[in-house]
Amino acid sequence: MTRFNRSLAKRLATCIAVCLALPAAAQNLDYSTLEQVFHEPVTISATGKPQRASDAPADMVIVTQDDIRRSGAMSIPDVLQFIPGVDVRHYGLADAEVGIRGYNQPYNARLLVLVNGRQVYSDDYGHVNWASIPVQLSEIRQIEVIKGPNSALYGFNAVSGVINIITYDPLHDKVDTATLGGGTQDYLGGTAVGTARIGDQAGLRISAGGFHASDFAPRGLSAPDAASRQNPLVGAFNIDGRIRIAPGTEAFLEASMSDSRVAEKEFAGAFDTSSTRANSLRAGISADTAIGLLSFGAYRNAQVVTISTASLNGLANWVNESVIVVQASDLAKLGADHTLRLGLEYRDDEATAPGFAHGTIGYDVYAASLMWNWQIAPNLSLTNAVRVDDLRLHYSGTLAAGTGFTQADYNHAGFAVPSFNSGIVFNLTRQDTLRLTIARGVQLPSLVDFGLQIPFGTFGPVVIAGNPGVHPSTVDNIELDYDRDLSAINSSFRAAMFAQRNLDLISQPFAVPPVIGPSGVPALLAGNVGSSDAAGVELGVEGHSGTGLRWQLNYAFAYTTDDTVLNKGGLVTSTIDYAHSVPRHVVTAGIGYTRDRLEMDLLGRWQSSYLDFQDSAASIQLQPIEVQNYVTLNARVGYRLTDHVIAAVTAQQFNVSRIMQAAGPPVERQIIGSITVRF
């Protein structure tokens, strides 16, 4: 054997031994070696042990680094918009909302987004600021898109699904690259990623990047909304270090900071500009012991958000948020067929907002989870997981008069709520896999749902407030999936059918019918407003040939009904109108070709019409906007000038100059050229 083959054989043997003996947590195994074992991308996030996506006890799509590069995307939402079952709405050049299987809206609170296990979901309004995620596309190994409620497997607020972003491990992967790009909309951006290693004992990856551009023209916006929009400006810096302290023991440290200025659409239907300065620090250690793989970690996310808009009516325009999370787990293999994972978590979350909360609103959450994976037979496995979240609310500040709530109502509020996931995977043959999953996900109220405090007269003759008695929303989901390996044509086929019920839907204060408080003052209070049902089907095929050709074709259908107290002809219009705000039909397709130094890809998406909402300058009611069905086409051509230099041109939405993708400014055609150097 050559020296290279002996090294590869040793790595494969070690990896297989680890996989058979004891599963490990994400970032503790060599993904590159695992991919050579499985001959495809793998995941270890669901059960802790290496699996193909089709063998995971959840509906999962893995987007690889090659997929990201070939998409020509400039952001993570741009990558996700071509995944079946994923809804992406662009409200500006840098502002996008992402939903899974419908239920999407501004400040979507139903999606959990993780970066290497760290939550980047913001608990203030319950949403994701995609521009402030401090990760460059070139340092992402893979993005796992997990569909359906997965709170028990993935944690806090994984309601409609999870976007799990996994970066390259500096202990195993050396990534050294720099990219500079520019194009239409005055776009200019760049990224740089560098890795340093000390043998097999320590690794450090540093990345930085950012861009500025001119946003889409504010066509169709009211004069105040158009005046408050500013052009996007984003910058981020990230450090990821890992060290092998001893055989079987590793420690890690991650630190990041980002600054972003994004013109956005907020949950009440108006447009503003949000400036966010965020930083995070995460550290942990894992040890392979006689009682399993013990892991301990903690992280802190902090951010200051400043809002520029003409509609604040003199309110202070900043929010200071801090989230501290401490996690511990034990992942153990009992015999040859049973894997257990016990997890404990504590989080302290609070936001100080003089204008919105008139003080500090926060909560402590204590959570415990247990996952059991049973390999019943070589072709049959069962996974059960349960999690309980125990929340205790606290508030200090000045309550808005007229609601009837007291300080004691806030400081004695709380609840304990369970969630579960159960999935059985049956490999019928070497080519056919069936998966049946049943799950309950839990959406906890956001800090605004709990503690918003806007006094009477600020926005008219009404008091607007959060509600310490608002309940969590639950999502019950049943799903049947089928995967078929079409080896004769180097393709794979996937089908999924799901049905779900959403109970105790949570509405933010601005969107609910008014009530009369104890003192006779009209009040808009956050609350639980009813239920919603959804059912759907997803079909897809993708493959490649030995000649360099690749293809994909997907179809998604979703049907939603509502039973709520909202939008019954009163004075207030709510964006919670899921029966009409979900595109029922979506088709995505792609074709690509690679030959020698040339790489070409074309991606397309068609979706049927749906209803979105926008604020109206002439009325306090939101204005319903019908977004017509549309087709968007993206193309990328890349050419390897040398072994280390790649030139590429990307055309986003090249088929038409402007498209209304949501109730906001039309999305404009973008042409971006870039040069990438790999060292």
83-132 pLDDT, tens digit per residue, is: 999 999 999 999 999 999 988 888 888 899 999 999 997 888 888 999 99
What SS3 string covers 536-602? EEEEEEEEECCCCEEEEEEEEEEEEEEEECCCCCCCCCCCCCCCCCCCCEEEEEEEEEEECCEEEEE
Is residue 328's pLDDT more than 50? yes
Q: Are 92 and 264 in contact (CB under 8 A)?
A: yes
pLDDT tens by residue, 172-199 = 999 999 999 999 999 999 999 999 999 8
Name the band, by pLDDT with cuts 50, 70 and 90, for residue 457. Answer: confident
Q: How large is the average pLDDT for residues 595-610? A: 96
Distance CA 647, CA 638 (A): 6
The CATH number that applies at residue 304 is 2.40.170.20
pLDDT at 570: 64
Q: Residue 425 class from Cβ within 10 Å (0-12 exposed, 13-18 middle, 19+ buried)?
A: buried
Q: How large is the average pLDDT for residues 484-489? A: 92
Q: Are 262 and 129 in contact (CB under 8 A)?
A: yes
Q: How many domains does the chain have?
A: 1
pLDDT tens by residue, 252-301 = 999 999 999 999 988 777 888 999 999 999 999 999 999 999 999 999 99
Is residue 75's pLDDT more than 60? yes
* pTM metric for this prediction: 0.93
Range of the domain at 479: 3-678
Average pLDDT, the chain: 90
Count of positions (residues) in the chain: 679
For 117: left if phi > 0, alpha if psi spans -120 to 50, otherwise beta; the answer is left
- The overall longest dimension of the chain from CA atoms, in Å, is 86
Cα 186 from chain centroid?
Answer: 28
Higher pLDDT, 448 or 125: 448
* Least-confidence region, from 33-42, 79-88, 163-172: 33-42
Distance CA 163, CA 110 (A): 11
Name the band, by pLDDT with cuts 50, 70 and 90, for residue 630. Answer: very high
Q: How large is the average pLDDT for residues 394-414? A: 93
Q: Are 248 and 102 in contact (CB under 8 A)?
A: no
